[in-house]
Every structure is written in C-alpha cells, then in structure tokens.
Homo-oligomer: A and B are copies of this chain.
C-alpha cells in the first residue's frame, strides 16, 4: 500500500481527538512522520505529552473544526457521538466543519452509520477505520486498519493511514469496515480457543507451554497475535487486555451478522460456547486468555505458571 505519489508530509492539517493509550501512540506516529497534528483530549495532560513529538494541543474541539482531516479514537459509541455531535462537538457549528472525519474507534455498525449520516448532512466525508492491534503493537509499528466509506476520501488520506503502521486496506462503501473488524475478532476468539486446546494437549503430552508455543510462533501458523499472547499462556498472567465480556459481545455481533447474511458458522459457534462459558465462570475482570484455564479444567488438570521470561514479539517494555 506504499503510495509512491504520496503527498508531501504536512500538506494536510490534521486534528486528532482522543489521546488515550492507543490514540496517543497513533497520533505520535503521525507527528514523527512529519505530519502537522493538533491533538485534543478530555484530560489535557495526555495531549500535552504529545508536544514532545511535535504535536500541537487544542484547547477545545472547536479549534479542530477548520482542519482538513480529523481523526477520532475514543472508547465508546457514546464518546464518539459526544465529540462529534454533542455540545461543543466537532460538527456543532454547521458553518465550520472539517472536510473529513476518520473514526478509528471500535463502534457498532449502527453507531457508525449514525455518525456517517450526521457527517453527510453537514457535507463532511466520513471513513470508518477500525484498527487491529493494541498500544504496544502501534509503537512496534504493527498497527493495521480496515477502511470503508467514499473511495476518493480514502485515497485522499491513505498516506496518513500508512504512517500509522503496516497500512490500511480499503474494503468498500458504508460500514463494511465494521463487519471486517468483527470477522477479525471472531478469528481472534477461534484462534485463542484453538491455542487453548492444542496447548493443553501438548502439555498433557509432556511439553512445556513455553517450548510448544515458541515452536508454534516460529511456525507458519504464528502471528503477531499468537506471539504477544504467549506470555499470558505461559505464565498465566491474566491481566486484562480484552475481557471475556467484550469478546462475547463481538461474537454476538459476528453471529448476528451470520444470521442476517445466512452464513452457517460451525467453528465460530463452537468457539462461542467456550467464550460464553468463560463469561459464565464469573472471571469477567480477567483477560479472555482464561479460555486456557477453562480448557485445562475441562481436561482434568490445573495449570501452573511456568515463570519463564517470554518475548511478546513487540519489543521494548511492558505495555501497562
């Protein structure tokens, strides 16, 4: 996706709303690539921290209304609605709006469509651009995005998206990128349950989890995901990165889409039963990697941490 005719850095004025862990890491990459980025965050200190890499700080969202492109990276659909169409929001003054809004948050198709409609009424182009990766993945340069909306808008901002990591993929009109992200998260659940099954099998067969997963990660089946999940599997560190309830929600969305589009999904359905059991276990404050513990329980064993230092493949220190 390297665009050889990419515009000169800084040719577009970029606004950025949301400097949480993910948002800050992403805005930082844009600034380091030489783009002109102004950041607004509810807690101003987080935006201030980005001046180190060359970002400017906006006092209010209103300050971003005149920018060419404004990215949003917030936590919930409600936050997204607030920063766009709430009081003092980006679109609150019809006389002064940005040309393009690119939302990188993970929100529902419905919320995405509503924000697109709100943008459209005001002559603003809207791209749905959810991401694959967490903060540490961003810093390691591994983020990718999937984008839907008007193709000419995508082409206009593609060089910015490319700065964010491995690049973006345009999949079509409307909210298709939301469906792509749901498919991605269904795969995340299936792969994790599969890892749980084969890791417990390998362990009962006599291997250490560290050795087995090292092999798997180096094999053609290994991915950024299997690698950064390995420390949790080896040392049973279930500090949450993504909870069973969030994963179940994505399976709900995936299976609802499958229902609507008439696609039987036997392996996703079998995984969903395991995901549901992880919620039913009551361990809803832990990482969804507890699927491993449940698999071990169902196999009649109790796992112990191996207390081995394992590389998560992302370089640098811990994410949190």
Contacts and interface: CB of A to CB of B under 8 A. Distances in A.
Number of copies: 4
Contacts of A300: 262, 280-282
Contact of A267 (B222, B271, B276): B271
Contacts of A199: 183
Interface stretch (A65-73, A81-89, A168-176, A232-240): A168-176
B221 A265 contact: no
In the complex, which range does the number of interface residues on chain A fall in?
A: 35 or more
A92 interface: no
Interface on chain A toward B: helix, strand, loop, or mixed SS?
helix
A317 interface: no
A190 interface: yes
Interface stretch (A26-34, A40-48, A52-60, A208-216): A208-216
A267 B274 contact: yes
Contacts of A173: 206
Interface of A: 132-133, 137, 142, 144, 146, 166-167, 169-174, 176, 179-180, 183-184, 186-188, 190-191, 193-195, 197-202, 204-208, 211-212, 214-216, 218-226, 228, 252, 254, 257-259, 261-274, 276-277, 279-282, 295, 298-300
